[in-house]
Amino acid sequence: MVGRAMRIGKGVMTPGRMVFFLPALLIASSWASPLLAEEPPRPVGYYVDAALSGYPSLASMRQRITMKRNEAIRAGALDDPKGWVAISNVPIRTWSFREEDMTGKEIGFSQMIPYPGKREHAVRIVGKEAEQAEFDLAEMRNMLRADVKMAYAELSTVRTQTEVVRQVRAVLDQVVQVSTEMFAVGKGRQTDVLRGQVEFQKMREMLLMLENREKVLSIRLNTIAALPPEAPVPALDNLAEFSTEYNVEDLRAIYRSERPARQAIQARIEKGKLAVLHAEHEYRPDFEVSTSYMQRDAMPDGTKRPDMFSAMVSMTLPIWKKEKIEPGIRAMVAEREMAIRDEETLDAEAANAIGGSLASLSNFAAVAKLYRTTLIPQAEQSIHSNLEAYQVGKIDFPMLMDSLMATLNFRKEYLGMVGESHMTKARLEAAVGRELDGVPPVPGEIALPKTRNSNGEGR
Protein backbone atom coordinates (compact mmCIF):
# COMPACT_ATOMS: atom_id res chain seq x y z
CA MET A 1 0.00 0.00 0.00
CA VAL A 2 1.29 3.43 -0.83
CA GLY A 3 2.44 5.40 2.22
CA ARG A 4 1.85 9.03 3.12
CA ALA A 5 4.78 10.30 1.08
CA MET A 6 3.62 8.94 -2.28
CA ARG A 7 6.53 10.00 -4.39
CA ILE A 8 8.42 8.47 -7.30
CA GLY A 9 12.04 8.92 -6.49
CA LYS A 10 12.19 12.55 -5.39
CA GLY A 11 9.22 13.66 -7.51
CA VAL A 12 5.61 14.11 -6.47
CA MET A 13 3.01 11.74 -7.91
CA THR A 14 1.50 13.57 -10.84
CA PRO A 15 -2.05 13.25 -12.18
CA GLY A 16 -0.63 11.21 -15.05
CA ARG A 17 0.82 8.68 -12.67
CA MET A 18 -2.37 8.77 -10.59
CA VAL A 19 -4.25 7.48 -13.66
CA PHE A 20 -2.44 4.18 -13.18
CA PHE A 21 -2.46 4.33 -9.37
CA LEU A 22 -6.18 4.71 -8.69
CA PRO A 23 -7.44 1.83 -10.90
CA ALA A 24 -4.84 -0.42 -9.35
CA LEU A 25 -5.90 0.78 -5.93
CA LEU A 26 -9.57 0.09 -6.74
CA ILE A 27 -8.76 -3.45 -7.78
CA ALA A 28 -6.15 -4.30 -5.18
CA SER A 29 -7.66 -2.53 -2.18
CA SER A 30 -11.35 -1.84 -2.70
CA TRP A 31 -12.57 -4.98 -4.43
CA ALA A 32 -10.24 -7.48 -2.82
CA SER A 33 -11.65 -9.82 -0.20
CA PRO A 34 -10.06 -9.92 3.25
CA LEU A 35 -7.87 -12.84 4.22
CA LEU A 36 -9.63 -16.15 4.48
CA ALA A 37 -11.16 -16.82 7.86
CA GLU A 38 -9.41 -19.16 10.26
CA GLU A 39 -12.65 -21.09 10.57
CA PRO A 40 -15.39 -21.60 7.98
CA PRO A 41 -18.32 -19.17 8.07
CA ARG A 42 -21.14 -20.20 10.36
CA PRO A 43 -24.24 -20.97 8.23
CA VAL A 44 -27.73 -19.79 9.00
CA GLY A 45 -28.75 -23.38 9.74
CA TYR A 46 -26.59 -23.32 12.88
CA TYR A 47 -28.61 -20.46 14.35
CA VAL A 48 -31.92 -21.94 13.19
CA ASP A 49 -31.14 -25.26 14.89
CA ALA A 50 -29.98 -23.49 18.05
CA ALA A 51 -33.19 -21.44 18.18
CA LEU A 52 -35.49 -24.41 17.55
CA SER A 53 -33.80 -26.49 20.23
CA GLY A 54 -33.29 -23.89 22.95
CA TYR A 55 -35.80 -21.04 22.67
CA PRO A 56 -37.76 -20.89 25.96
CA SER A 57 -41.19 -20.20 24.42
CA LEU A 58 -41.00 -23.45 22.47
CA ALA A 59 -40.36 -25.42 25.64
CA SER A 60 -43.33 -23.66 27.26
CA MET A 61 -45.58 -24.63 24.35
CA ARG A 62 -44.41 -28.25 24.56
CA GLN A 63 -45.52 -28.31 28.17
CA ARG A 64 -48.88 -26.90 27.12
CA ILE A 65 -49.28 -29.76 24.65
CA THR A 66 -48.50 -32.26 27.40
CA MET A 67 -51.05 -30.54 29.63
CA LYS A 68 -53.77 -30.70 26.98
CA ARG A 69 -53.11 -34.36 26.22
CA ASN A 70 -53.54 -35.25 29.87
CA GLU A 71 -56.63 -33.07 30.08
CA ALA A 72 -58.11 -35.09 27.21
CA ILE A 73 -57.60 -38.27 29.23
CA ARG A 74 -59.25 -36.70 32.28
CA ALA A 75 -62.15 -35.36 30.20
CA GLY A 76 -63.24 -38.91 29.36
CA ALA A 77 -63.26 -40.08 32.96
CA LEU A 78 -66.44 -40.30 35.03
CA ASP A 79 -66.92 -38.06 38.05
CA ASP A 80 -65.73 -39.53 41.30
CA PRO A 81 -68.45 -41.68 42.91
CA LYS A 82 -70.00 -40.60 46.18
CA GLY A 83 -69.97 -42.87 49.20
CA TRP A 84 -71.70 -42.49 52.52
CA VAL A 85 -72.22 -44.07 55.90
CA ALA A 86 -75.44 -43.24 57.80
CA ILE A 87 -77.80 -44.25 60.51
CA SER A 88 -81.49 -44.18 59.66
CA ASN A 89 -84.69 -43.71 61.61
CA VAL A 90 -83.26 -43.84 65.13
CA PRO A 91 -85.91 -42.86 67.72
CA ILE A 92 -84.63 -39.90 69.65
CA ARG A 93 -86.57 -40.93 72.74
CA THR A 94 -84.49 -44.00 73.45
CA TRP A 95 -81.74 -43.87 70.77
CA SER A 96 -82.20 -47.60 70.45
CA PHE A 97 -81.31 -49.52 67.24
CA ARG A 98 -83.65 -52.41 68.25
CA GLU A 99 -86.90 -50.63 69.01
CA GLU A 100 -88.12 -49.67 65.49
CA ASP A 101 -88.17 -51.86 62.37
CA MET A 102 -86.96 -48.98 60.16
CA THR A 103 -83.90 -48.26 62.30
CA GLY A 104 -80.63 -49.36 60.77
CA LYS A 105 -77.02 -48.62 59.91
CA GLU A 106 -76.59 -47.77 56.24
CA ILE A 107 -73.67 -47.72 53.81
CA GLY A 108 -73.99 -46.75 50.16
CA PHE A 109 -72.50 -45.09 47.08
CA SER A 110 -73.66 -43.29 43.95
CA GLN A 111 -72.22 -42.58 40.50
CA MET A 112 -73.11 -39.74 38.15
CA ILE A 113 -73.39 -40.92 34.53
CA PRO A 114 -73.58 -38.20 31.82
CA TYR A 115 -76.03 -38.52 28.96
CA PRO A 116 -74.53 -40.71 26.17
CA GLY A 117 -72.30 -38.60 23.91
CA LYS A 118 -71.34 -35.93 26.43
CA ARG A 119 -68.12 -37.64 27.52
CA GLU A 120 -67.15 -38.32 23.91
CA HIS A 121 -67.65 -34.66 23.00
CA ALA A 122 -65.65 -33.51 26.01
CA VAL A 123 -62.75 -35.77 25.05
CA ARG A 124 -62.80 -34.62 21.43
CA ILE A 125 -63.00 -30.95 22.42
CA VAL A 126 -59.90 -31.16 24.61
CA GLY A 127 -58.24 -33.30 21.93
CA LYS A 128 -58.79 -30.47 19.44
CA GLU A 129 -57.26 -28.07 21.96
CA ALA A 130 -54.19 -30.31 22.13
CA GLU A 131 -54.09 -30.47 18.34
CA GLN A 132 -54.34 -26.69 18.17
CA ALA A 133 -51.46 -26.39 20.65
CA GLU A 134 -49.34 -28.66 18.45
CA PHE A 135 -50.02 -26.45 15.42
CA ASP A 136 -49.31 -23.36 17.52
CA LEU A 137 -45.94 -24.88 18.38
CA ALA A 138 -45.25 -25.53 14.70
CA GLU A 139 -46.22 -21.94 13.89
CA MET A 140 -43.89 -20.63 16.60
CA ARG A 141 -41.09 -22.67 15.05
CA ASN A 142 -42.04 -21.35 11.62
CA MET A 143 -41.97 -17.71 12.73
CA LEU A 144 -38.82 -18.19 14.82
CA ARG A 145 -37.02 -19.70 11.84
CA ALA A 146 -38.02 -16.70 9.71
CA ASP A 147 -36.86 -14.27 12.42
CA VAL A 148 -33.48 -15.99 12.63
CA LYS A 149 -33.05 -15.91 8.86
CA MET A 150 -33.96 -12.21 8.67
CA ALA A 151 -31.59 -11.30 11.52
CA TYR A 152 -28.84 -13.39 9.92
CA ALA A 153 -29.35 -11.79 6.49
CA GLU A 154 -29.42 -8.28 7.92
CA LEU A 155 -26.29 -8.84 10.00
CA SER A 156 -24.44 -10.35 7.03
CA THR A 157 -25.50 -7.39 4.88
CA VAL A 158 -24.38 -4.85 7.46
CA ARG A 159 -21.01 -6.55 7.78
CA THR A 160 -20.36 -6.58 4.04
CA GLN A 161 -21.48 -2.96 3.79
CA THR A 162 -19.15 -2.10 6.67
CA GLU A 163 -16.30 -3.70 4.76
CA VAL A 164 -17.18 -1.65 1.68
CA VAL A 165 -17.16 1.55 3.72
CA ARG A 166 -13.76 0.66 5.19
CA GLN A 167 -12.47 0.17 1.67
CA VAL A 168 -13.98 3.51 0.64
CA ARG A 169 -12.15 5.25 3.46
CA ALA A 170 -8.89 3.55 2.50
CA VAL A 171 -9.27 4.81 -1.08
CA LEU A 172 -10.25 8.30 0.06
CA ASP A 173 -7.32 8.43 2.46
CA GLN A 174 -4.91 7.77 -0.41
CA VAL A 175 -6.67 10.27 -2.68
CA VAL A 176 -6.57 12.97 0.00
CA GLN A 177 -2.85 12.33 0.54
CA VAL A 178 -2.18 12.66 -3.17
CA SER A 179 -4.23 15.86 -3.49
CA THR A 180 -2.52 17.30 -0.40
CA GLU A 181 0.93 16.69 -1.84
CA MET A 182 -0.10 18.12 -5.21
CA PHE A 183 -1.41 21.26 -3.45
CA ALA A 184 1.87 21.52 -1.54
CA VAL A 185 3.85 21.76 -4.80
CA GLY A 186 1.36 24.15 -6.43
CA LYS A 187 -0.26 21.63 -8.76
CA GLY A 188 -3.58 21.30 -6.92
CA ARG A 189 -6.21 23.37 -5.18
CA GLN A 190 -7.00 23.69 -1.51
CA THR A 191 -10.69 23.10 -2.22
CA ASP A 192 -9.80 19.66 -3.57
CA VAL A 193 -8.03 18.84 -0.34
CA LEU A 194 -10.94 20.10 1.77
CA ARG A 195 -13.50 18.20 -0.30
CA GLY A 196 -11.56 14.98 0.14
CA GLN A 197 -11.19 15.51 3.89
CA VAL A 198 -14.93 16.17 4.30
CA GLU A 199 -15.83 13.00 2.39
CA PHE A 200 -13.33 11.06 4.48
CA GLN A 201 -14.98 12.20 7.73
CA LYS A 202 -18.44 11.47 6.34
CA MET A 203 -17.29 7.93 5.74
CA ARG A 204 -16.20 7.80 9.39
CA GLU A 205 -19.72 8.74 10.50
CA MET A 206 -21.25 6.09 8.25
CA LEU A 207 -18.80 3.51 9.54
CA LEU A 208 -19.67 4.27 13.16
CA MET A 209 -23.37 3.87 12.44
CA LEU A 210 -22.83 0.55 10.66
CA GLU A 211 -20.60 -0.77 13.43
CA ASN A 212 -23.23 0.11 16.03
CA ARG A 213 -25.89 -1.55 13.90
CA GLU A 214 -23.72 -4.64 13.66
CA LYS A 215 -23.46 -4.88 17.45
CA VAL A 216 -27.23 -4.51 17.85
CA LEU A 217 -27.93 -7.19 15.23
CA SER A 218 -25.34 -9.54 16.75
CA ILE A 219 -27.11 -9.32 20.10
CA ARG A 220 -30.47 -9.86 18.41
CA LEU A 221 -29.27 -12.90 16.46
CA ASN A 222 -27.77 -14.48 19.59
CA THR A 223 -30.92 -13.76 21.60
CA ILE A 224 -33.27 -15.29 19.03
CA ALA A 225 -31.00 -18.32 18.74
CA ALA A 226 -31.03 -18.79 22.54
CA LEU A 227 -27.29 -18.08 22.72
CA PRO A 228 -25.52 -15.73 25.16
CA PRO A 229 -26.42 -12.22 23.90
CA GLU A 230 -22.92 -10.80 24.24
CA ALA A 231 -21.20 -13.81 22.65
CA PRO A 232 -19.11 -12.83 19.58
CA VAL A 233 -20.67 -13.76 16.25
CA PRO A 234 -18.07 -15.31 13.94
CA ALA A 235 -17.94 -14.95 10.17
CA LEU A 236 -21.23 -15.53 8.38
CA ASP A 237 -22.01 -16.85 4.93
CA ASN A 238 -22.04 -14.28 2.15
CA LEU A 239 -25.43 -13.61 0.62
CA ALA A 240 -25.92 -14.26 -3.07
CA GLU A 241 -28.61 -13.61 -5.62
CA PHE A 242 -31.10 -16.43 -6.08
CA SER A 243 -33.89 -17.36 -8.43
CA THR A 244 -37.24 -15.69 -7.69
CA GLU A 245 -39.36 -17.67 -10.13
CA TYR A 246 -42.00 -18.78 -7.65
CA ASN A 247 -45.53 -19.52 -8.80
CA VAL A 248 -48.12 -17.65 -6.77
CA GLU A 249 -50.72 -20.41 -7.07
CA ASP A 250 -48.24 -23.03 -5.90
CA LEU A 251 -47.31 -20.88 -2.90
CA ARG A 252 -50.94 -20.37 -2.00
CA ALA A 253 -51.52 -24.12 -2.23
CA ILE A 254 -48.56 -24.70 0.08
CA TYR A 255 -50.00 -22.15 2.49
CA ARG A 256 -53.42 -23.79 2.52
CA SER A 257 -52.00 -27.24 3.17
CA GLU A 258 -48.95 -26.55 5.34
CA ARG A 259 -49.23 -23.23 7.21
CA PRO A 260 -49.41 -24.25 10.89
CA ALA A 261 -51.34 -21.11 11.88
CA ARG A 262 -54.11 -22.02 9.43
CA GLN A 263 -54.19 -25.61 10.66
CA ALA A 264 -54.44 -24.31 14.23
CA ILE A 265 -57.46 -22.18 13.28
CA GLN A 266 -59.05 -25.15 11.53
CA ALA A 267 -58.61 -27.12 14.75
CA ARG A 268 -60.37 -24.25 16.53
CA ILE A 269 -63.22 -24.43 14.04
CA GLU A 270 -63.61 -28.18 14.59
CA LYS A 271 -63.48 -27.60 18.32
CA GLY A 272 -66.20 -24.96 17.93
CA LYS A 273 -68.45 -27.39 16.08
CA LEU A 274 -67.98 -29.99 18.81
CA ALA A 275 -68.60 -27.36 21.48
CA VAL A 276 -71.93 -26.48 19.84
CA LEU A 277 -72.97 -30.15 19.86
CA HIS A 278 -71.83 -30.44 23.45
CA ALA A 279 -73.85 -27.37 24.43
CA GLU A 280 -76.92 -28.76 22.65
CA HIS A 281 -76.58 -31.94 24.69
CA GLU A 282 -77.35 -29.87 27.78
CA TYR A 283 -80.97 -30.39 26.81
CA ARG A 284 -80.44 -34.04 27.78
CA PRO A 285 -80.49 -35.11 31.44
CA ASP A 286 -77.61 -36.65 33.34
CA PHE A 287 -78.26 -39.71 35.50
CA GLU A 288 -77.14 -40.67 38.97
CA VAL A 289 -77.26 -44.32 40.09
CA SER A 290 -77.10 -44.98 43.80
CA THR A 291 -77.26 -48.11 45.97
CA SER A 292 -77.19 -48.68 49.72
CA TYR A 293 -77.11 -51.51 52.22
CA MET A 294 -78.83 -51.25 55.64
CA GLN A 295 -77.95 -53.46 58.57
CA ARG A 296 -80.65 -53.84 61.28
CA ASP A 297 -80.29 -55.11 64.84
CA ALA A 298 -82.52 -57.81 66.37
CA MET A 299 -85.81 -56.93 68.05
CA PRO A 300 -85.94 -56.49 71.85
CA ASP A 301 -87.24 -60.04 72.22
CA GLY A 302 -84.31 -61.41 70.25
CA THR A 303 -86.10 -61.88 66.93
CA LYS A 304 -83.72 -61.13 64.08
CA ARG A 305 -84.58 -58.54 61.46
CA PRO A 306 -83.36 -59.02 57.89
CA ASP A 307 -80.93 -56.48 56.44
CA MET A 308 -82.20 -54.26 53.61
CA PHE A 309 -80.86 -53.22 50.18
CA SER A 310 -81.91 -50.07 48.28
CA ALA A 311 -81.21 -48.77 44.75
CA MET A 312 -82.23 -45.56 43.04
CA VAL A 313 -81.78 -43.74 39.70
CA SER A 314 -82.13 -39.96 39.68
CA MET A 315 -81.68 -37.50 36.86
CA THR A 316 -81.12 -33.82 36.29
CA LEU A 317 -84.01 -31.76 34.95
CA PRO A 318 -82.71 -29.33 32.26
CA ILE A 319 -85.58 -26.89 32.56
CA TRP A 320 -83.63 -23.60 32.63
CA LYS A 321 -83.37 -23.33 28.85
CA LYS A 322 -83.56 -19.58 28.28
CA GLU A 323 -81.42 -18.74 31.30
CA LYS A 324 -78.72 -21.40 30.91
CA ILE A 325 -78.84 -23.77 27.94
CA GLU A 326 -79.67 -21.46 25.03
CA PRO A 327 -77.11 -18.77 26.02
CA GLY A 328 -74.51 -21.51 26.26
CA ILE A 329 -75.33 -22.68 22.73
CA ARG A 330 -75.16 -19.14 21.37
CA ALA A 331 -71.79 -18.63 23.04
CA MET A 332 -70.38 -21.76 21.40
CA VAL A 333 -71.79 -20.74 18.01
CA ALA A 334 -70.16 -17.32 18.39
CA GLU A 335 -66.82 -18.96 19.24
CA ARG A 336 -67.07 -21.16 16.14
CA GLU A 337 -67.94 -18.20 13.90
CA MET A 338 -65.09 -16.20 15.38
CA ALA A 339 -62.66 -18.96 14.41
CA ILE A 340 -64.10 -19.01 10.86
CA ARG A 341 -63.63 -15.25 10.56
CA ASP A 342 -60.07 -15.58 11.89
CA GLU A 343 -59.35 -18.12 9.16
CA GLU A 344 -60.67 -15.76 6.50
CA THR A 345 -58.53 -12.94 7.93
CA LEU A 346 -55.43 -15.12 7.93
CA ASP A 347 -56.13 -16.21 4.34
CA ALA A 348 -56.35 -12.57 3.26
CA GLU A 349 -53.18 -11.62 5.13
CA ALA A 350 -51.29 -14.58 3.68
CA ALA A 351 -52.46 -13.77 0.15
CA ASN A 352 -51.28 -10.20 0.63
CA ALA A 353 -47.95 -11.34 2.09
CA ILE A 354 -47.35 -13.84 -0.71
CA GLY A 355 -48.25 -11.39 -3.47
CA GLY A 356 -46.31 -8.54 -1.89
CA SER A 357 -43.25 -10.69 -1.24
CA LEU A 358 -43.20 -12.01 -4.80
CA ALA A 359 -43.47 -8.48 -6.19
CA SER A 360 -40.66 -7.30 -3.89
CA LEU A 361 -38.46 -10.28 -4.75
CA SER A 362 -38.94 -9.64 -8.45
CA ASN A 363 -38.08 -5.98 -7.99
CA PHE A 364 -35.05 -6.69 -5.81
CA ALA A 365 -33.77 -9.25 -8.31
CA ALA A 366 -34.18 -6.82 -11.21
CA VAL A 367 -32.51 -3.95 -9.37
CA ALA A 368 -29.64 -6.15 -8.12
CA LYS A 369 -29.08 -7.41 -11.66
CA LEU A 370 -29.12 -3.81 -12.91
CA TYR A 371 -26.44 -2.87 -10.38
CA ARG A 372 -24.35 -5.94 -11.16
CA THR A 373 -24.55 -5.88 -14.96
CA THR A 374 -24.94 -2.18 -15.78
CA LEU A 375 -24.53 0.46 -13.10
CA ILE A 376 -21.39 -0.84 -11.40
CA PRO A 377 -19.50 -1.64 -14.64
CA GLN A 378 -20.49 1.70 -16.15
CA ALA A 379 -19.48 3.57 -13.00
CA GLU A 380 -16.11 1.83 -13.00
CA GLN A 381 -15.65 2.76 -16.64
CA SER A 382 -16.58 6.33 -15.72
CA ILE A 383 -13.74 6.42 -13.20
CA HIS A 384 -11.22 5.55 -15.89
CA SER A 385 -12.62 8.19 -18.24
CA ASN A 386 -12.69 10.84 -15.54
CA LEU A 387 -9.13 10.08 -14.53
CA GLU A 388 -7.98 10.67 -18.10
CA ALA A 389 -10.07 13.85 -18.33
CA TYR A 390 -8.71 15.07 -14.98
CA GLN A 391 -5.19 14.48 -16.25
CA VAL A 392 -5.63 16.92 -19.12
CA GLY A 393 -7.72 19.38 -17.09
CA LYS A 394 -11.09 18.74 -18.74
CA ILE A 395 -12.87 18.04 -15.42
CA ASP A 396 -12.25 19.21 -11.89
CA PHE A 397 -11.46 17.22 -8.79
CA PRO A 398 -15.06 17.13 -7.40
CA MET A 399 -16.26 15.36 -10.54
CA LEU A 400 -13.54 12.77 -10.09
CA MET A 401 -14.62 12.30 -6.49
CA ASP A 402 -18.28 11.98 -7.48
CA SER A 403 -17.55 9.17 -9.92
CA LEU A 404 -15.42 7.36 -7.36
CA MET A 405 -18.08 7.69 -4.67
CA ALA A 406 -20.82 6.61 -7.08
CA THR A 407 -18.99 3.38 -7.89
CA LEU A 408 -18.42 2.50 -4.28
CA ASN A 409 -21.97 3.45 -3.26
CA PHE A 410 -23.34 1.24 -6.04
CA ARG A 411 -21.43 -1.63 -4.50
CA LYS A 412 -22.94 -0.87 -1.11
CA GLU A 413 -26.45 -0.58 -2.56
CA TYR A 414 -26.02 -3.86 -4.39
CA LEU A 415 -25.21 -5.64 -1.14
CA GLY A 416 -28.23 -4.05 0.53
CA MET A 417 -30.50 -5.15 -2.29
CA VAL A 418 -29.33 -8.76 -2.07
CA GLY A 419 -29.79 -8.67 1.71
CA GLU A 420 -33.33 -7.33 1.33
CA SER A 421 -34.16 -10.16 -1.07
CA HIS A 422 -33.04 -12.75 1.49
CA MET A 423 -35.07 -11.10 4.26
CA THR A 424 -38.12 -10.94 1.98
CA LYS A 425 -37.70 -14.62 1.16
CA ALA A 426 -37.69 -15.39 4.89
CA ARG A 427 -40.97 -13.46 5.24
CA LEU A 428 -42.39 -15.40 2.30
CA GLU A 429 -41.42 -18.70 3.94
CA ALA A 430 -43.15 -17.57 7.13
CA ALA A 431 -46.27 -16.73 5.13
CA VAL A 432 -46.49 -20.10 3.35
CA GLY A 433 -45.47 -22.13 6.39
CA ARG A 434 -42.29 -23.87 5.29
CA GLU A 435 -38.85 -23.29 3.83
CA LEU A 436 -38.54 -22.81 0.09
CA ASP A 437 -35.87 -24.78 -1.72
CA GLY A 438 -32.87 -22.65 -2.65
CA VAL A 439 -31.17 -22.48 -6.02
CA PRO A 440 -27.53 -21.88 -7.00
CA PRO A 441 -26.35 -18.28 -7.26
CA VAL A 442 -26.98 -16.42 -10.49
CA PRO A 443 -24.04 -17.00 -12.88
CA GLY A 444 -21.72 -14.03 -13.17
CA GLU A 445 -22.66 -12.40 -9.88
CA ILE A 446 -20.15 -10.15 -8.17
CA ALA A 447 -17.95 -11.79 -5.57
CA LEU A 448 -18.63 -10.30 -2.17
CA PRO A 449 -16.10 -9.82 0.62
CA LYS A 450 -16.21 -12.09 3.62
CA THR A 451 -18.16 -10.67 6.52
CA ARG A 452 -16.41 -9.73 9.73
CA ASN A 453 -17.11 -10.28 13.38
CA SER A 454 -18.56 -7.69 15.69
CA ASN A 455 -15.09 -6.42 16.51
CA GLY A 456 -14.39 -5.61 12.88
CA GLU A 457 -11.85 -8.40 12.49
CA GLY A 458 -11.89 -10.98 9.75
CA ARG A 459 -12.69 -14.47 10.89
Read off the pLDDT of residues 307-323 as tens digits, 9 standing for 90 and up. 999 999 999 999 999 98
Residue 14: left if φ>0, alpha if ψ -120 to 50, beta else—which one?
beta
End-to-end C-alpha distance for the chain, whole angstroms: 22
Tens digit of pLDDT for each residue in 95-142? 888 888 889 999 999 999 999 999 999 999 999 999 999 999 999 999
Q: Give 199's pLDDT tier (boundaries 50, 70, 90).
A: confident
289 forms bridges with which residues in the sheet? Answer: 111, 313
| Cβ atoms of residues 125 and 278 within 8 Å | yes
Q: In 3-state terms, what secondary structure has residue 185? A: coil
Per-residue DSSP letter, 212: H
- pLDDT for residue 188: 65
Q: What is the pTM of this model?
A: 0.79
Q: Give 390's pLDDT tier (boundaries 50, 70, 90).
A: low
Other CB atoms within a 10 A radius of the CB of residue 233 amount to 26
The mean pLDDT of 269-296, rounded to a whole number, is: 94
- pLDDT for residue 274: 95
Residue 169 has pLDDT above 50, yes or no: yes
DSSP code string of 30-81: ISPPPPPPSSPPBPHHHHHHHHHHH-HHHHHHHHHHHHHHHHHHHHTSPPPP
- pLDDT for residue 160: 93
84 forms bridges with which residues in the sheet? Answer: 108
Distance CA 163, CA 171 (A): 12
* Stronger pLDDT, 63 or 178, i.e. the higher one: 63
Q: Where are the beta strands (DSSP E) in 232-391?
A: 287-295, 308-315
* Stronger pLDDT, 375 or 199, i.e. the higher one: 375
Residue 450 has pLDDT above 90, yes or no: no
The mean pLDDT of 208-225, rounded to a whole number, is: 95
Distance CA 6, CA 3 (A): 6
Adjacency order of strands within the sheet including 104-113: 82-88, 104-113, 287-295, 308-315
- pLDDT for residue 38: 59
Residue 289 has pLDDT above 90, yes or no: yes
Per-residue DSSP letter, 458: B
Segment of 97-101, 189-193, 215-219 carrying the highest mean pLDDT: 215-219
- pLDDT for residue 300: 84
Segment of 286-295, 429-438, 443-452 carrying the highest mean pLDDT: 286-295
- Count Cβ atoms within 10 A of the Cβ of residue 391 and give its class: 0-12 exposed, 13-18 middle, 19 or more buried: middle
Q: Give 391's pLDDT tier (boundaries 50, 70, 90).
A: low
Distance CA 152, CA 39 (A): 18
The mean predicted confidence, pLDDT, of the chain is 84
Tens digit of pLDDT for each residue in 233-249? 999 998 999 887 888 99
* Stronger pLDDT, 90 or 386, i.e. the higher one: 90
Tens digit of pLDDT for each residue in 329-386? 999 999 999 999 999 999 999 999 999 999 999 999 999 999 999 998 898 888 778 7
| Cβ atoms of residues 154 and 75 within 8 Å | no
Please name which of 344, 305, 396 lies closest in space to residue 103, comparing C-alpha atoms: 305
Residue 4 has pLDDT above 90, yes or no: no
Q: Give 440's pLDDT tier (boundaries 50, 70, 90).
A: very low
